[in-house]
Structure 1
Amino acid sequence: MNKIQLGTSDLSVSEVALGCMRMDKLDGKEAAGVINAAYESGVNFYDHADIYGGGESEKRFAQALKQTSIKRDDIILQSKAGIRSGYYDFSKEHLTSSVDGILDRLDTDYIDVLLLHRPDALVEPEEVAEAFDTLHSSGKVRQFGVSNHSPYQIELLKKYVKQDLIANQLQLSVMHTGMIDAGVQVNTKQKESIDHDRAILDYCRLNDITVQPWSPVHGPDGVFLNHPDYSEVNETLKSLADKYDSDHEALAIAWLLRHPAKMQVILGTMNEKRIRNYASASGITLSREDWYTVYKAAGNPLP
């Protein structure tokens, strides 16, 4: 498994990570099997959020980890906070109390990375800064970042926050390419030229913020792999599989990893076989021509 540096931090992380959103659906033995499958595939990074499974996913992870031989110091734990029932909350009180809950459920003294989960329209960046200072100085959180944030939302935070923001978790897949489309379609009249994401991909690259694609095998209507509505992109991936001594499912992850932004892909599956297969995408480097072939097969025109 290839490793990348996470943002400006000193963390060396696997370029494929395991997202644990659905872990609450597993029993202890199944969860331990999933954690082991990821770790044995070279994954050292596990992504959580305080709302996943109402907190049960973090609990199940902690319980299952004890059934493995993996030590806490062998892995990197990331969690997210800021979403409450029906609204968002970046207040100091909520963020600090959320982290206490995260630590309790994960049964750990610290988390390596905390992300602000979704933008709070009522954000008071001074309070975020106070929360981060408290969490960092206490040793409860070592690094910070954001999720689903735009460039100017990040700039507003950076005006007050002392710590580097090292990651931005964003939806991106072969079938969800808005942050790529706008750049390709600059100065055209195509609908794809509309920049819904405010050049967030280029912004993150300019500011050494690692992009973490979530839902990497999802399109507008769920998983696109092997879905009859997405036959062209699936057939294209299949046609390239032999060339890269792989299969079309792994190539969907390799397509993301080929981007020079050095992204860290967050897997969402709880299937051990798929975890191992997706993780095998690390080390596959699509040619420039093949990357564009897949991009076009996904329905993206070139000007």
Structure 2
Amino acid sequence: MKVMPLEKRMITTSRLVYGCMGLGGDWNEAPITEENIRQAEEAIDAALSIGITMFDHADIYKRGKSEQVFGEVLKRRPQLREKIVIQSKCGIRFPEGEIPQRYDFSKDHIVNSVDGILHRLGIEQLDILLLHRPDPLMEPDDVAKAFEQLKKGGKVKHFGVSNMNAAQMRMIQAYVEEPLVVNQLELSLKRIDFLEEGVLVNQKAAANVHFGDGIIEHCQLETIQIQAWAPLANGIYSGREMELQTETDKRTKALVTKLAREKNTTPEAIVLGWLMRHPAKIQPVIGTSHPERIRKCKEAIQMAETMTREEWYMLYETSRGMRMP
């Protein structure tokens, strides 16, 4: 079977994605401020300065304010829209009174969510829409109708998912004509279950790994772009001031620091480069709102291209806390 190269299905050439969850102030319903807009613009400019041209949103981030401040930046700099790819997600609904937080993949909710996203961003078309988390009550035919309406109406170019396993993607794809182009998952040097799932085949230790069999391989075979949320693992190995709780974390941070020093780069570039070294061409979604930390990710692509197999395995084995089986 001949598989289409992943690069031919990529919606953007940006190897890194900027995640906009940190923009927009607090997680409350207070209106956005000029300070929020200024901070968003600084973060966006920092991302652009290191070659990032893809920006990731979700309708729930800061209760819609992340999209709103981004839209304000676009309003003031309309020329920016043609230079970037904008992705957002829908499907999570917050608690309302006695109604709990839930997921909603109904046709009406998906379509209405996109209308809200476009309004807050101040744009006419979303480049990519992702379904945020699996809805146990999903009717795939309903999803198909929503996608068809959004595509025909010119409101969304491409579709994808987030936090889904291979079977869930196959279920949706069986009903949806448009190819799924993205699956966004939590992957990092700290969250290594995506590797352990394969390495521990036929091992007793596999009983403690619950990532989802075959997700990575399915995405590679179907040329679905894998994106990694929380790729820096909240900065645990790359400079964030925190007390490390385990000896494994301490050794991993020490190794990351040592490699960064030897290669004259940043710990952030090492951590991201390790993730991007994987043959699936994983796209890290950088979530920090601090411009300087965004800029510290600049050399991640170079680290991915130059990291040796031995260095990659050193980091992997140190993070897993035991020798390879």
TM-score, length-normalised on structure 1? 0.93
Higher helix share: 2
1:19 aligns with 2:28: no
Q: Check if 1:149 corresponds to 2:164.
A: yes
Alignment of 1:1-303 (within 5 A): 9=9, 11-25=11-25, 27-68=36-77, 70-85=79-94, 86-191=101-206, 194-218=209-233, 222-225=234-237, 226=239, 227-229=242-244, 230-284=249-303, 285=305, 286-301=307-322, 302-303=324-325
Q: Which runs of 5+ in 2 are unaligned?
A: 26-34, 95-100
| CA root-mean-square deviation | 1.8
CA–CA separation in structure 1 for the residues paired with 2:316 and 2:105: 37
Contact 1:174 1:255 in 2 (8 A): yes
Change (3 A) 1:100 1:194: same
- How far apart, CA to CA, are the structure 1 residues paired with 2:210 and 2:163? 15
Secondary structure (helix, strand or coil) at the match of 1:208 reads: coil
Preserved CA contact (<8 Å) 1:7 1:167 = no
Cα 1:241–1:273 change in 2 (3 A) is same
Contact 1:217-1:252 at 8 Å conserved across structures: yes
Q: Determine helix, strand or coil for the equivalent of 1:278.
A: coil
**3-state SS of the aligned residue for 1:49?**
coil
- Conserved? CA contact 1:178–1:192, under 8 Å: no
CA distance in 2, matches of 1:187, 1:300: 20
Aligned residues: percent identity?
Answer: 38
Q: Distance in 2 between matches of 1:18 and 1:10?
A: 16
Residues 9 and 140 (structure 1 numbering): CA distance in 2 closer, same or farther, change over 3 Å?
A: farther
What residue identity is the alignment partner of 2:280?
A
Residue 47 of structure 1 aligns with an amino acid whose one-letter code is: D
More strand by share: 1
Query: How far is the alpha carbon of 1:30 from its aligned partner?
Result: 1.4
1: CA distance, partners of 2:194 / 2:200: 11
Render the CA deviation track for 1:57-88: whole Å, top value 9, x for unaligned.
10011112344475211100000001112100
SS in 1 for 2:51: coil
With the length of structure 2 as denominator, give the TM-score of the two structures. Answer: 0.87
| Residues in 2 aligned to 1:24 and 1:118: alpha-carbon distance in whole angstroms | 22
C-alpha distance 193-199 of structure 1, shift in aligned 2 (>3 A): farther
Displacement of 1:12 after TM fit?
2.6
